[in-house]
Structure 1
C-alpha cells in the first residue's frame, strides 16, 4: 500500500532561486520537498517575487511574511558594523539573527491555529542555517503535539591555526566569542523541543549537547541541480592538465596558495589554471602571476553568473580549491557533478564531502605546509594523470546518487517518516571517522 503523503509546513526565511549561498540552499531544499510531500513554504517577503517568477502560487504553494519593519533596519546596521562589503559575515549573521524571532512570531500568528488543529503532520525549519538562531515555534509545536524538525544547521567552523591574519582581514572580530551563543536564552528549549536536528557538518553536530545527539542526523547542507550542472568534463588521462579555482578572491579561500603550489607545472606547460571569481585579493593575484611569469598559463575570468560557471569549469580536469574555512563546500559538489576531480584541504565542509577515490585531500596545516602538500599532490597527478578518469567517474556517480536536490528531499522525507513513526532516525549517509 502506498504511504500517504506527509503534510508539511516548511519554514525557509531565506529562500530564493535567483540568489546563491544560503538563500539558494533554502529554496532548493524547500522546493524539492514539494515533490515528495504536500508542502507549504513560508518565506520572507523579499523572496516573494522570485517565488512567483519560479511558478509557485501564493496562498496555495507559499506564504510570504512581511517582517521588514525589523529585518530592513537590522540589515543596514549589520552592513555598517561588518565594516566592508563581503566581509564580517559572523557580525552580519549575528545582527540579522536578532530579527528572526520577530519573523517567527509573525509565522505563528499566521499558522499557529492551523498547527494546533493538526492541519500539518510536521513543521520543518530549513533556514536560517545558523545554529545560533533559536526558535520560539519549536516548543509551541511540541505542546501542540506536532513534530518540529530543524536543519540543516551549519556554521561557525573554527579558524585554523596560522590563519589569524586572514581572520582579521575578513573582519571576523565576533568569531572570537562566537561560542557564547550556547548560553543564549532559548537555545536549550529549542533543541529539547525539536524532534530531529539535521546537522550540516561534523562541527555543528559536535556543538549539540551529548544528551540530545540521539535526535541528530549528519546530512551535508548542499546539493546540486542536475539541470544546472549537466556537462561532463573531458578526462583523457594525459597531459597537459587544466585546473580551475572557483570562489571569492579572499585569502582564506586560497587562490594564492593554488597558484603558488602550481608554479612548477604552470611554467613547464603541464598545467593551466582558470580563476573564476572576484574579490579584494584580485589585484594581488594578478601581480603574483605577472611576477612569476606565468601569465600565459593562468586565466582570470572574474565574477560569473552561477549558471555560467560550468561552461568554464567543465573544461577542467581538476578543481584546485585549498580553502581553509568552508562550511558547506557547494562548489566541490558542483565540480564533482561535472566530473572534475576536487583537490581540497581536508577540513570542514570539503573534507566531509570528498571521500577516498572521489578526490584528493591535502592535510590541514599552516600556509606553507598546505602549499607544499598541494604542490606534491599536483606533481603526483602530473606524473600519472591516468588516475583521474576513474576518480572523476566515481565523484560524478556519488553526487548523482546522494547529492542532488531530489536525493536530498528523499533523505529528509525518510527522516520525517521516522519521526512520525517514533522510530530511530535514519543515518542517511556514512560519516568519516
Structure 2
C-alpha cells in the first residue's frame, strides 16, 4: 500500500471549518493508503479521544512557541471575534513555516531515505501559504501533493459595507500574495495541485494547470449526517451559519417577510454572532421565525431535517460545507450563485439566484420562495437528487478514492486524471 505522510497542521474532529476538513480528509485517506498524519500539538488530545495512537497513527508537532503568540496577535488585530479572516491568514503565513521546519526536522531523514512514497500537505487550505517541504521532497525524489487549496474569493460588487463590517482591510491587497517568495517554487515542485474551487484553480499560473485538479474541499461524513429529512406542513426554511453581515440572514428575513406574514413560510435560524440582536429586532412581529442560537455540529441536523429548504443567501463562501450537509439530508438548497455554493448546486437538486445587488438578491430570493411555497411538490424530486449527488461525489470515502487516483498518477501507476475528473 502507498505510504503517505499527510501534513495537516489544522486537523481536529471536534472543531468545524478548516480543522474539520483537515481531519476528515486525512482520516478518510487511511482507508486507501498507509497514512501517517502530522498535525499541530493543539489537536493532540482530540486525536487521542478519536482513538488515534500517537507515534503510530499520528505525530503532534509542538510549534506553539511561535504559533501561540502569533494567534494572540491576530486576535487583537482582527478587531472582533470571527472578523478579519484575511489578517489571520496573513499572520498564519508568517508563523506556519516554523511548523514545516519542525516537520522536516522530525521526518526529513525518513523522506530522504525513501520511507514515504508521497508527502501530501492537506492544510493549510489557503493558497497564500507556501511550503518549504515541496522543494525538499522534490530534491529527495518524493512526490509532493498540495491541497485542496481554496480561498480568496473576491467580494462581489455592492457589498462594501459588509466588507468593512468584517474588517477585511487586507482583502484589498490580497492578490499581492502571488509575489511572495516561495509561492513559485512551491507550485513548481508540487507533483499535483488540488484546487478546492474553480476560482482557486484559475489563480494557478498557466504553466502548472496541467497538474492542477479540481476537487471541492468539503465532504460529508455519513456518521455525522445520517438523517433523512422528513418535513411536513407549511414550507419551512433553515439558515445555518454565523450571524455576520456577509452571510445575508438580514436579506433572507427581508425576502421572506410577505410569506411569513401570510403564514406560508416558517424560518429556523441556527447560529449566533454579532448581528443577532439586530436580526431579532428585524424579525420582531414576524410570525414563524425561531432563533435557535449556536448548536453543536452534531445537533444541527436534528433541526435541519425538519426543513424543506436551506435558505442561505451568503455572498462570500469559499467551500459551502453547510450546503452539502443540507443536501446529504435531502434538504434542498436555495443559495446565491457565487463561489462555493454556486459550484455545488445544480438546478436538478437546488435553486440558485444571481449574485446581484442587495436589492436584487432580496427580490430574487422572495420570488423563489413564493414559487416553492406555491408548488412544494417540486421539492421532493430535488431532495432525492441532492442526496444522490452527495452519495456519488461528496462522501469523504469517495473523495479519498479520487485522491488515491492522484497518488497513483504522480507515482506513475495510472493515467493522468481527465479534466472532468471530479464530475
Whole-angstrom CA distance in 2 between matches of 1:356 and 1:414: 29
**2:231·2:306 contact (CA, 8 Å) conserved in 1?**
no
Aligned to 1:284: 278
Indicate whether 1:17 and 2:17 are aligned: no
Q: TM-score, normalised by structure 1?
A: 0.96
DSSP 3-state at the match of 1:380 = helix
Aligned to 2:387: 396
Whole-angstrom CA distance in 2 between matches of 1:89 and 1:366: 23
Pairing of 1:22-421 with structure 2 (within 5 A): 22-234=18-230, 240-290=234-284, 293-294=285-286, 296-421=287-412
DSSP 3-state at the match of 1:373 = helix
Whole-angstrom CA distance in 2 between matches of 1:428 and 1:9: 24
RMSD: 1.0
Q: TM-score, normalised by structure 2?
A: 0.98
Q: Which runs of 4+ in 1 moved over 6 A?
A: none
Shift of 1:235: 5.2
Whole-angstrom CA distance in 2 between matches of 1:283 and 1:73: 32
Q: Per-residue displacement from partner, 1:311-360 (whole Å, max 9, x unpaired)?
A: 10000000000000000000000000010000000000000000121100
Which deviates more from structure 2 when the two are superposed, residues 92-101 or residues 329-338? 92-101
Aligned residues: 421
Q: Per-residue displacement from partner, 1:238-265 (whole Å, max 9, x unpaired)?
A: x610110000001110111111111111
Which of the numbers 3, 8, 11 marks the counterpart of 2:4? 8
DSSP 3-state at the match of 2:411 = helix
Aligned to 1:429: 422
Whole-angstrom CA distance in 1 between matches of 2:133 and 2:359: 48
Q: Per-residue displacement from partner, 1:93-146 (whole Å, max 9, x unpaired)?
A: 111221111100110111111111111111100000000110001011111111
DSSP 3-state at the match of 2:349 = coil
**2:150·2:195 contact (CA, 8 Å) conserved in 1?**
yes
**1:274·1:298 contact (CA, 8 Å) conserved in 2?**
yes
Whole-angstrom CA distance in 2 between matches of 1:429 and 1:150: 17
Whole-angstrom CA distance in 2 between matches of 1:52 and 1:425: 36
Q: Per-residue displacement from partner, 1:6-44 (whole Å, max 9, x unpaired)?
A: 110000000000111000000010011011110000000
Which deviates more from structure 2 when the two are superposed, residues 311-320 or residues 239-248? 239-248
Shift of 1:281: 0.6
DSSP 3-state at the match of 2:364 = helix
DSSP 3-state at the match of 1:214 = helix
- The answer for unaligned runs of 5 or more in structure 2 is none
DSSP 3-state at the match of 1:191 = helix
Whole-angstrom CA distance in 1 between matches of 2:113 and 2:306: 54
Whole-angstrom CA distance in 1 between matches of 2:6 and 2:131: 14
